[in-house]
Amino acid sequence: MPEAVEPKILAIFCNWCTYLAADLAGTSRIKYPANIRVVRVMCSGRVDPQFVMDAFAKGADGVLIGGCHPGDCHYQEGNYKCLRRFELLRRMVKEMGIEDERFRLEWISASEGDRLRTVVTDMVEKIRPLGPRQTLTEVTQ
Amino acid sequence: MPQDYSYFPGCSLQSTGVAYDESVRALFALLDLKLHELPEWNCCGATSYMSIDEGSAFVLSARNLSLAAQAKHRDLVTPCSACYLVLKKTQDYVEHYPAIANKVQQGLQAEGLPPLNGVQVRHPLEILYNDVGLDRIKHASVRPWRGAPIACYYGCQLVRPYCDSDQQQNPTHMEEVLKAAGIPTVDFALKTKCCGGSLTGTIPAVGQRLNYLILKEAIRKGAGAIVTVCPLCQYNLDAYQADIRKSTGEAIDIPVLYFSQVLGWAMGADAKALGLQRSIAGKQTIKQWFAASEREEKAHV
Amino acid sequence: MSEEIRTGVYTCHCGSNIAATVDVKAVAEYAAKLPNVVVSRDYKYMCSDPGQDLIKQDIREHKLNRIVVASCSPHLHEHTFRTALAKGGLNEFLFQMVNIREQDSWVHLDKPAATVKAMDLVRAAVCRVALHKPLTKGSVPIRADVLVVGGGIAGIHAALTLANAGKKVYLVEREPTIGGHMAKFDKTFPTLDCAACILTPKMSSVRAHPNITLWSYSEVTQVDGYVGNFKVTVTRKPRYIMEDLCVGCLECIEACVYKEGKFVDEFNMGLSKRKPIYIPFPQAIPQVPVIDPETCIDFKTGKCKKSCVDACGERHAINLKMKETTEIIDVGTIILSTGFQVFDAHRSPEYGYGVYPNVYTALEIERLVNASGPTSGEVVLRDGKRPKSVAIIHCVGSRDEKNNRWCSRVCCMYSLKLAHLLKEHTDAEIFNFYIDIRTPGKGFEEFYQKLRNEGVHFIRGKVAEVTDWAFDPSEEGKLVIRVEDTLLGFARRIPVDMVVLATGLEPHADAQEVRRRFNLTCSSEGFFLERHPKLAPVSTFTDGVFLAGACQSPKDIPDTVAQAGAAAAEALALIDAGHVEIEPNTAFVLEEDCSGCRTCIPMCPFSAITFSEETKLASINQALCKGCGTCVASCPSGSIVQNLYDDEEIFAEIEGVLSNA
């Protein structure tokens, strides 16, 4: 059983839905674990697969992408583009020995502060028992 | 085309509610629906066990669900409202509370029983409404109704809180089914009020007052009989009428029947097969409505 | 680039909002040691004038060329600080904001963890801002024409305000007439002035105003484009009577083969009947009847003698072959005033609506007490008798875990108003059953006091049920209210003749569809979401689209009108500025790196990317680009860059977050 340490999750949230949901969670004083660090982009469609790879390479224990619900994208369909990339990227990430729990894409609208809490809490709870993420070199050794 | 269901009669249907068991079996047979009694079923625990030892009560009730999960037919029919509620509650709690799910799992494992996946707890009224349908009921109803209109009484446990298809506050399936069978009903505002439950045994004055209010309102609304879905409701409303007459001085004498009895009758079953002779109150009325028609039919033949 | 990066970091306490959970001093001390940081300060309120002055002063004194402010959400104060930079003589985009309030101090309890998080985020911003480049805001011209959607009192007021300012307004209304819910009300609280008397003159002004184009019986079906230049498609349902030919004599209605009304009259809440050809109410605007094809014999069988057409005669205004048409308009701004729908009382079956005939909704009573209503203002039960006692049940469908959890804001006051009107019309005994009486408004509490002096009963308790169960002869034939009187502390049974349900307000059933059409967000209850609950209550997250009235949240007439005025003012501010500044976060192609693979072209939802057959390169039209960055993420050669969100900036931010210095 790996030792439980506080995982660090890099979150990339779109400006119009999930970033606002995180703001709403704040104004509603909803509490969730302090493990996530949010990077804001205008649209989840902006999420370059390299951002995710880079985050894992630099030691993130998890990566969470947040976008608008299907049909709700501020830019019409950026979230669909994100979904397609995510499905492919997820397989790659897995092949690199990174557990499924560490990489998530979630649709969280601006009114869903509560859902943001649920997602973040759930992700932290699922990652924590996995322990610190092994780097590629550790995996191959 | 026959349809098959697993059947969980529960304890009441083997004691005070024998007529319910008889009439449900008769009614289902008439509609070409097959009931396969669950082998070695046990008491559902009813409401009383839940309040004494919740953990064991859930295991007790879960055992029946587990038996049903093993059975060929996973639709488990139970006519008793208390059994229906307890089985549904067990499923709900096992799904939502991991601690209870664990305890139930351990209990079942000790007995070598499978988990309770995929079982549908069903009530005969809901089966009539959804599986059989009003059209088929209409066609199957061969006897014209000779009696007075009826007050449909649901009690509390069937519709609250696990009410799958009907409205909790104002259920109407019984009225619709009876209407399809040509049996008139009255508007009955007390249809989901408490019958007194076990208070008739523990604090009789309180329990009997609740019985009295329901009986009196049904009579005021012009009902000639009350029809119910629950063996405890039936027993409470039926058995205490003599006591109520004594304490209130009012001439209350009204038959309290199961919905399966009046429907079975409309579909041509014998009075005896439906257990109609087992009623306590309103014997005269029952004789008039059912025996008289039977005599008439025989005369025609 | 040989420019020396000199960064100033400012960490805000926000009073105790941040400082209570984040060790602000520690964050500032930490920031001081980060690369390029020349100045690091913490301050009580960075957004205040002295806070902003700190930045301006430091820019001058310490020759700062990058600024990081760690405070609240950029959605709140990014603009404030950018302006401070500009005033300090620095390009406003050499700035990065760190959200340590909404996304840190307010959502975490663990102070050390929240402080570490703040440090991580500040470090990320310091890394990122070093790569920022000076940028210039874009500018888009604003078309002067405005679209107002929904012709209730909100839409009417907004349209008139704009039209009076000389702007051309398109007012689109779904129903055959404008007026909305207010047209159905009898009196308005707390002044008791007649709703029609104050509303219908405004409706007439709409019709008469040269700057307003009114399209009733029409719906907006498509919206394209962006602030300043929206292209809107309006679908006009056929009303089978030509508006331009009809003179509003209503002789066609008189002539209909149905001598009496036979179909549910929607305007009178089904309390009266109308003909297949009808006008919703006498003062309807436009003053043009409509034919309902569902009930008209000619539409159903084709065998009507068409006496309506004969009655119209020479005017030829009736056209039974009329088809749906569409109009496409260009507008610069949009005001949404689509209103609300009333909670369906059937959803609270314990109150017996639809079961007991003498249970009414409040809106039905509005029609019943109205002099031009179905009974000409005579308050009678369905059997024609006058009620001697009336129960008004508050909070039906509001403040209810099973239905809508919010307070509908207007029901207490309209219940008081109806209590007064019913008392006036019938002298009946009136009982109000309430959870709390809420009268926060000008003259509202005084009105409540007046009602109490009029002898109206107020019983505090949520009604358990309405039943016809008669307990004793005094209840025979009555509706019995069963309620726990929480002030007396026991359960009561109160028999009455009439029950009025004070039904709440909720979003329209199709609010989600409408929201998508206009690219808006809804709050969790389904009302349209404003940009900021306090500071931008009529703006939305879609620039150029404003909200007015109950589509944003339940509100009464004074608040609705005030908000409609505000929305009109916001639209006017944009129009009169002539242009709107937009974020310079557009993407562009680095021609030397572009391989011409065209991967990016289908990525753009705005068709902003084109491929030149001549140069074999892609290029992005800066006027069409909205800055989502999807093309940037898709470019295999990294030859598309995006201002403010460029790869290197985001990589720097990620690295900053994750490098545990």
- Of the two residues B183 and C534, the one the predictor is more confident about is B183
A33 with C632: Cβ contact below 8 A: no
So what's the pLDDT on residue B143? 93
What is the pLDDT averaged over residues C303-330?
A: 95
pLDDT of residue A2: 42
pLDDT, tens digit, 9 for 90 and up, residues A35-59: 999 999 999 999 999 999 999 999 9
Residues 6 or more apart in contact with residue C463 via CB below 8 angstroms: C350, C351, C391, C393, C433, C481, C482, C483
Distance CA C13, CA C430 (A): 55
pLDDT at A135: 62
Q: Could you tell me the fold of the domain covering C138-237+324-340+509-578? A: FAD/NAD(P)-binding domain (3.50.50)
Mark which residues 616-645 of C lie under 8 Å from A by CB.
Answer: 626-630, 632-634, 642, 645
Residue at C362: amino acid letter: A
**Residue B138 lies inside a defined structural domain of this protein:** no
Q: Are residues B271 and B164 in the same domain?
A: yes
Interface partners of B (3+ CB pairs, < 8 Å)?
A: C
Model confidence, pTM: 0.85
**Low pLDDT (below 50) residues in chain B:** none
Say how far apart CA C136 and CA C582 lie, in whole Å: 10
Q: Which residues of C324-333 are buried (b: 16+ CB within 10 A; e: fewer)?
A: eeeeebebbb
Query: Which one of B170, B172, B192 would you mutate to disrupt binding with C, by most C Cβ within 10 Å of its Cβ?
Result: B170
Average pLDDT, chain C: 95
Residue A139 has pLDDT above 70, yes or no: no
Residues A68-90 have a mean pLDDT of: 93
Distance between CA atoms of residues A16 and A13, nearest Å: 9
C-beta atoms of C113 and A22 within 8 A: no
**C467 contact residues in B (CB cutoff 8 A):** 189-190
Range(s) of chain C covered by CATH 3.50.50.60:
138-237+324-340+509-578, 342-506
pLDDT digits (tens, 9 = 90+) for C334-383: 999 999 999 999 999 999 999 999 999 999 999 999 999 999 999 999 99
Q: Between residues 58 and 117 of chain A, which touch chain C (CB distance below 8 Å)?
A: 58-60, 71-72, 74-78, 81, 85, 109-112, 114, 117
* Residue B229 token pair: 């879905």
For position B80, which CATH number holds? Answer: 1.20.1050.140
Residue range C452-484, pLDDT digits in tens? 999 999 999 999 999 999 988 899 999 999 999
The verdict on a CB contact (< 8 Å) between C106 and A48 is no
Q: Which of B167, B169, B217 sits opposite C469 (nearest CB)?
A: B217
Domain that holds residue B276: 143-299
pLDDT tens track for C281-297: 999 999 999 999 999 99
Torsion of CA B194, B197, B202, B206, to 10 degrees: 20
Fold (CATH) for C342-506: FAD/NAD(P)-binding domain (3.50.50)
Please say if the pLDDT value at position A4 is more than 70.
Answer: no
Distance CA A128, CA A8 (A): 10
Q: For residue C531, give the chain A residue with the closest CA.
A: A20
- φ/ψ region of A38 (left if φ > 0, alpha if ψ in -120 to 50, else beta) reads beta
Cβ atoms of A120 and A33 within 8 Å: the answer is yes
Read off the pLDDT of residues C575-633 as tens digits, 9 standing for 90 and up.
999 998 888 999 999 999 999 999 999 999 888 999 999 999 999 998 889 999 999 99
Q: What confidence tens digit (pLDDT) does each residue in C488-503 have?
A: 999 999 999 999 999 9
Using CB atoms, list chains with 3+ pairs below 8 Å to chain C.
A, B
* One domain for residues B149 and B192: yes
Mean pLDDT of the region C214-221: 98
Could you tell me if residue B9 is inside a domain?
Answer: yes
Domain boundary among B65, B87, B122: B122
pLDDT for residue C27: 97
- Residue C72 has what pLDDT? 96
Note whether C398 and C343 are within 8 A (CB). Answer: yes
Same domain, B166 and B100: no
Instruction: Give the residue among C175, C155, C301, C151 at the shortest CA–CA distance from C239.
Output: C175
State pLDDT tens for residues C150-209.
999 999 999 999 999 999 999 999 999 999 999 999 999 999 999 999 999 999 999 999
B79 and B170 together in one domain: no
Single out the residue of A42, A49, A53 nearest to residue A14, CA to CA: A42
Which of C17, C224, C628 best tests the A interface by mutation, with the highest count of A CBs <10 A?
C628
Residues forming beta bridges with residue C457, ordered by sequence position: C431
The rounded distance, in Å, linking the Cα atoms of A106 and A128 is 19
Residue A1 has pLDDT above 50, yes or no: no
Domain end (from B57, B90, B122): B122
Residues of C in contact with B187 (CB under 8 A): 355, 468
Residue of B nearest to C349 (CA): B169
Q: What b/e string do you get for C617-645 counting C-beta neighbours within 10 Å, with b at 16 or more?
A: bbebeeeebbbbbbbbbbbeeebbbbbbb
Residue C287, C-beta contacts closer than 8 angstroms, at least 6 positions apart: C207, C246, C248, C279
Taking CA atoms, what residue in C is nearest to A68?
C521
Q: Does C101 touch chain A (CB under 8 A)?
A: yes
Q: Which residues of A touch C74 (CB under 8 A)?
A: 40
pLDDT for B164 equals 74
CA distance A140 to chain C (A): 23
- Nearest-Cα distance to chain A for C79, in Å, is 15
Cα separation, A70 vs C512, in Å, equals 13
Condensed to tens digits (0 to 9), the pLDDT of residues C251-292 reads: 999 999 999 999 999 999 999 999 999 999 999 999 999 999
Residues B117 and B152 in one domain: no
What CATH number did the domain enclosing B223 receive? 3.40.50.11810
**Fold of the domain built from segment(s) C587-643:** Alpha-Beta Plaits (3.30.70)
Q: What is the pLDDT of residue B54?
A: 86
Residue B137 lies in a domain: no
Q: Which residue has the higher pLDDT, C408 or C607?
A: C408
Rounded CA-CA distance B1/C340 in Å is: 50
Could you tell me if C578 lies within 8 Å of chain B, comparing CB atoms? no
Q: Mention every residue, 6+ apart, whose C-beta is less than 8 A from residue B67.
A: B38, B39, B40, B41, B113
More confident residue, C568 or B296: C568
Does residue B258 belong to any structural domain of this protein? yes
Last residue of a domain, one of B122, B154, B177: B122
From the CA of A79, how many Å to the nearest CA of chain C? 9
Q: Does domain A9-140 have CATH number 3.30.1360?
A: no
Mean pLDDT of A104-130: 94
In C410-489, at which residue ranges do the beta strands (DSSP E only) sit? 429-434, 457-460, 463-467, 479-485
Residue C210's pLDDT is 97
CATH code that applies to domain C7-135 = 3.40.50
In chain C, the residue whose alpha carbon lies closest to the alpha carbon of B212 is C471
Q: Which of C651, C543, C77, C128 is nearest to C85 (CA)?
A: C77
Neighbours of C66 (CB within 10 A): 25
Collect all residues of chain B within an 8 Å Cβ-Cβ radius of residue C469: 189-190, 217
Q: Choose the weakest-confidence range: C429-433, C539-543, C648-652.
A: C539-543
**Chain C environment of B163 (Cβ under 8 Å):** none
Q: What share of chain C is helix, strand, coil (3-state, %, to 5)?
A: 30, 25, 45
Contact C355 B217 (CB under 8 A): no
Name the domain count of chain B.
Answer: 2
Judge: B167–C468 Cβ closer than 8 Å, yes or no. Answer: no
Q: Are C and A touching by the rule of 3+ CB pairs within 8 Å?
A: yes
B217/C470 Cβ within 8 A: yes
Percent of chain C residues topping a pLDDT of 70: 99
C349 touches chain B (CB under 8 A): yes
- Indicate if the pLDDT at residue A100 is higher than 80: yes
Task: Test A46 with C654 for CB contact under 8 angstroms.
Answer: no
Is pLDDT of C661 > 50? no
* B150 is a domain residue: yes
